[in-house]
Amino acid sequence: MLFKVDLHIHTPASSCYSDNVLSDSRLVTSPQDIIQQAALVGLDAIAITDHNTVKGLELMRERAAGNRLRVFPGVEISATGGHVIGLWDLDTPLARLQEVLYRLGFNGSSEGQGYCQTQCSMNAVFQYIHDAGGLAIAAHIDRRPKGFIASDELTLSDKRRIYNDSFLRALEITIVENKPGWNGGHAGFQPGMACIQGSDAHAINEIGRRPVYLDVPELDLSCVALAFKEFQSRLFFPGDPEVRTTETANEHK
């Protein structure tokens, strides 16, 4: 079964969210607003990935209770070298994510601030996430300034070290045309790796703008990991033949 998911969504807990940046507009985005918008665009699951904080997660969980939409707890961590998305299973205690952030040096005023970064490398962050039971994804790898492939601060050997880390599970890309190359393994970056895209939504109308589809039996973290591992047959972008076939079949029901 194909599930439509968006694994990179922010809330007003991130300081760069539209509510906070466009203060004159008096925007007040609620957890219910996010859930309703996700349902409106046909998402089966979202991940809440605020910058270096989990403060937006508790209310999201409460509002999503009893709703068909699955809400994966997550966080976007600013590391030395680039940003990292950590995803955890649906019922993971938020204290576990908070402990990861604490160990990385995020607390108080640094929470929610994407420009604040841990002194740990991306490789170290991958392991922290793995050791806490999560999945590590390199965020927007092909976008400056905080995508590690696009970075001018990292050497080619740095980028290869990050890419080849055994705890890195997927790459988030923004240039869709490069997906076949990353799936197959670009020169110097072997073997191929799973690619996702995400909305990186910082406003309500951005939710679901870059979804992916998972062909898995259930929506839990183990099945997300399965889709990453078997990406050639289980992980699809809009426009892929597998998605078009399913959408056409649904139109004729």
Q: How many helices (H) and strands (E) does the chain have?
A: 10, 9
Owning domain of residue 240: 2-251
- pLDDT, tens digit, 9 for 90 and up, residues 47-59: 999 999 999 999 9
pLDDT digits (tens, 9 = 90+) for 110-141: 998 999 999 999 999 999 999 999 999 999 99
Q: Closest Cα partner for 89 from 219, 198, 207?
A: 219
Q: What are phi and psi of 36, to 5 degrees?
A: -65, -40
Rounded to a whole number of angstroms, the CA Rg of the chain reads 17
Q: What pLDDT is recorded for position 23?
A: 67
Q: φ and ψ at 38, to 5 degrees?
A: -60, -40
What CATH number should be reported for the domain holding residue 116? Answer: 3.20.20.140
Q: Which two tokens stand for residue 59?
A: 């209310």
pTM metric for this prediction: 0.94
How far is residue 211's CA from residue 199's CA, in Å, rounded to a whole number? 7
Give how many domains the chain has, as a whole number.
1
Other CB atoms within 10 Å distance of the CB of residue 38: 27
pLDDT, tens digit, for every residue of 28-79?
899 999 999 999 999 999 999 999 999 999 999 998 888 899 999 999 999 9
Distance of CA 65 to the CA centre of its chain: 21
Give CA–CA dist 110/104, Å, rounded.
11
Structure-block tokens of residue 161: 């070290």
Residues 136-169 pLDDT 10s: 999 999 999 899 999 998 999 999 999 999 999 9
Contacts of 7 (CB under 8 A, 6+ apart): 45, 46, 47, 49, 72, 74, 85, 87, 137, 172, 196, 198, 212, 224
